[in-house]
């Protein structure tokens, strides 16, 4: 290598380092809005067909098509979600107040459940010290006090950051507008700029879009359906705080295997133990044959083979995403896992292609 080539290599290395520093600086600057930016990008991917439908009816006005799609998203998705959230907050606050005032007698419920058990099981629980209702009551009172304090602190925090919340919502809608209008062009430019082979970049981009759509559909659509079915079941049997428990079932549907059973299972046990036999049986039957089957029927249809993420990976990445990114981690965790699997799959396929093993490379539906 001569002196000129060495200088060119140093200049290229310095340019790459400069790009990395500028990228890190940009990420640092926009990090306070990283969550609304991610939601805007994912929403633009999901609602791209809506924008295309609008654009087909006004092909010379892409700005109007993007604005019309944004208005539909606002009134059909965001505003109903905000209304449901406000109802959940009110119902949760009423439950906390009822705990503090003693109108919810958890100890009495435990006593009723234990009394309904067979004598052998009661003896085992008593020998284990699990029937010490006074100790249970003390622990519950302490838990309620701590929960009330936590909710009070969160309420102050939410009130103090209301301006920031509305600012984040505005940023999300603003960015979503431009991503709906220019998303295809921006995606092509990003793929061309990626420092990898163009074919690999296109394959990863295609997998990325499939995984985003499948993850969001599998997460939200199944959760909404299971939450609605669970809420209707609770409403039929006359349980209180229907909207709150419906939202909880929708959230727990993110967890494979157990999911909404975390909510409807204890409710069915309590109803049966307190003498509400037909109500408990209705909740139990609905949980097993309606709420549970909805996941088994809808998830393969909505997700299909687009992600290929095992259930245990979904569980770990969902919990890890929630712990790391908060609510956004519900989608970010499985999404990162899906991209991780997709990246290694693409690498394996291209290694097989380079070795001449073309026949062993499986074709995805979108690759035909």
* Per-residue three-class SS string for 221-250: HHHHHHHHHHHHHHHHHCCCCHHHHHHHHH
* Predicted pLDDT at 176: 92
Reduced to 3 states (helix: H, G, I; strand: E, B; else coil), residue 203 is: helix
* Predicted pLDDT at 261: 86
Decide if pLDDT at 307 tops 60: no
Question: pLDDT digits over 74-128, tens only?
Answer: 998 888 888 887 787 777 777 767 666 666 666 666 666 666 666 666 666 666 6
DSSP class of residue 364 equals P
Residue 65 CA to residue 53 CA, distance in Å, equals: 9
Any idea where the domains of the chain sit in the sequence?
34-193
Percent of the chain with pLDDT over 90: 12
Residue 279 CA to residue 192 CA, distance in Å, equals: 60
Instruction: Output phi, psi for 355, to 5 deg.
Output: -90, 0
Question: pLDDT digits over 175-198, tens only?
Answer: 999 999 998 888 888 878 777 777
Decide if pLDDT at 232 tops 90: yes
Decide if pLDDT at 309 tops 90: no
pLDDT-based confidence at residue 233 (cuts at 50, 70, 90): very high
Residue 247 CA to residue 228 CA, distance in Å, equals: 8
209, 45 contact by CB (below 8 A):
yes
Decide if pLDDT at 367 tops 50: no
Residue 179 CA to residue 269 CA, distance in Å, equals: 48
Question: pLDDT digits over 266-290, tens only?
Answer: 888 878 877 788 888 999 999 888 8
């Amino acid at each position: 290598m001569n002196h000129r080539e060495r200088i060119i290599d140093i200049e290229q290395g310095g340019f790459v380092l400069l790009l990395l520093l500028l990228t890190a600086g940009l990420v640092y600057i926009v990090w306070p809005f990283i969550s609304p930016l991610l939601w805007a990008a994912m929403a633009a991917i999901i609602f791209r067909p809506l924008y295309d439908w609008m654009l087909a009816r006004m092909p010379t006005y892409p700005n109007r098509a993007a604005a019309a799609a944004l208005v539909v998203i606002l009134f059909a998705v965001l505003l109903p979600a905000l209304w449901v959230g406000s109802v959940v907050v009110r119902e949760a606050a009423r439950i906390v107040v009822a705990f503090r005032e003693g109108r919810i007698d958890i100890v009495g419920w435990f006593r009723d459940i234990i009394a309904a058990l067979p004598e052998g099981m009661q003896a085992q629980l008593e020998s284990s010290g699990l029937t010490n209702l006074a100790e249970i009551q003390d622990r519950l009172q302490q838990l309620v006090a701590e929960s009330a304090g936590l909710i009070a602190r969160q309420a102050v925090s939410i009130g103090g950051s209301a301006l920031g919340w509305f600012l984040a919502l505005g940023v999300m809608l603003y960015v979503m507008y431009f991503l709906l209008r220019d998303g295809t062009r921006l995606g092509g430019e990003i793929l061309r700029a990626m420092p990898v082979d163009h074919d690999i970049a296109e394959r990863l981009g295609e997998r990325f879009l499939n995984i985003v759509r499948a993850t969001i559909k599998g997460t939200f659509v199944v959760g909404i359906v299971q939450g609605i079915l669970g809420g209707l079941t609770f409403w039929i049997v006359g349980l209180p705080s229907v909207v709150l428990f419906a939202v909880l079932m929708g959230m727990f549907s993110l967890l494979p295997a157990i999911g909404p059973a975390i909510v409807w299972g204890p409710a069915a046990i309590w109803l049966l133990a307190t003498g509400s036999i037909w109500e408990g049986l209705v909740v139990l039957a609905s949980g097993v044959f309606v709420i549970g089957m909805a996941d088994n029927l809808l998830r393969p249809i909505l997700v299909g083979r687009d992600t290929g993420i095992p259930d245990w990976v979904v569980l770990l990445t969902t919990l890890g995403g929630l712990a790391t990114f908060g609510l956004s981690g519900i989608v970010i965790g499985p999404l990162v896992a899906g991209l991780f699997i997709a990246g290694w799959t693409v690498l394996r396929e291209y290694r097989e292609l380079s070795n001449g093993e073309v026949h062993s490379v499986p074709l995805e539906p979108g690759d035909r």
